[in-house]
Amino acid sequence: MINREIQLDMLQRVAEALGPDLRKKMTFVGGCTTGLLVTDEFTREQIRHTDDVDLIMHVMSYTSYSALQQELQAHGFKIEVPDDDGAPICAMKLGDLRVDFMPDDENILGFTNRWYRKAMETSTYFNLAPELSINLISPVYFIATKLEAYNGRGKGDPLESRDIEDILNLVDGRPELVNEISTAENDLKIYISQQIEVLIKLSDFDYAIQSHTYGDKAREDEIYERLEKIIEIGK
């Protein structure tokens, strides 16, 4: 089974377990959705396997979040106790699959991503299978949330960052992304433009691109051209 098929299977398992009512309240985000957003078949086949599924939701308080966890347990999810392996406080398990349920309000668990709420508001329906649809993050907000995540946990090392890997997959594998960013809300496209400009100046970012393309110079040039266009969008 290729990585994209593994990702689809993971997403479908989670979507089916949630059921229609809970699915409506949540948006699928993160690396496991990369294959749904990439439109170039070659890039899609190169996407790495990820070991978890990420979802975001809106809850008003920690009490509401706890009630949601109880509801999720009734659907087969189990609370994952944080340990030294790095499982976050928002993690649950569906069988052997880790699923992170992340609130859009920092006050709930002490962390969030500034773009989560807007990502939920602008999500679109995606059909995983007949009669099985999910709320899927848009490509532009995918990039924004990944940039924000990298700033929080990337430690300035783009070569080892899965967030940067996901960003490069989308830049490389979705030719229409540049135009989508250019028509996005002003604060969003400026943020993406500025953050890409910071990244592209890092010495190890060159190596991250080379690693992504396996040394394919033509693909490297295409990625750099798209990144430069994204930078110009915000100026």
Tens digit of pLDDT for each residue in 54-78?
Answer: 999 999 899 999 999 999 999 999 9
d(CA 217, CA 106): 42
Domains in the chain, CATH or no CATH each:
3-137 (3.30.460), 140-233 (no CATH)
The predicted pLDDT at position 211 comes to: 94
Instruction: Encode pLDDT of 87-146 as tens digits.
Output: 788 999 999 999 999 999 989 998 889 999 999 999 999 999 999 999 999 999 999 999
Considering the entire predicted model, what is its pTM?
0.95
Instruction: Encode pLDDT of 176-208 as tens digits.
Output: 999 999 999 999 999 999 999 999 999 899 999
d(CA 28, CA 53): 8
The predicted pLDDT at position 5 comes to: 87
Q: Please give the share of the chain, as a percent, with pLDDT higher than 90.
A: 83
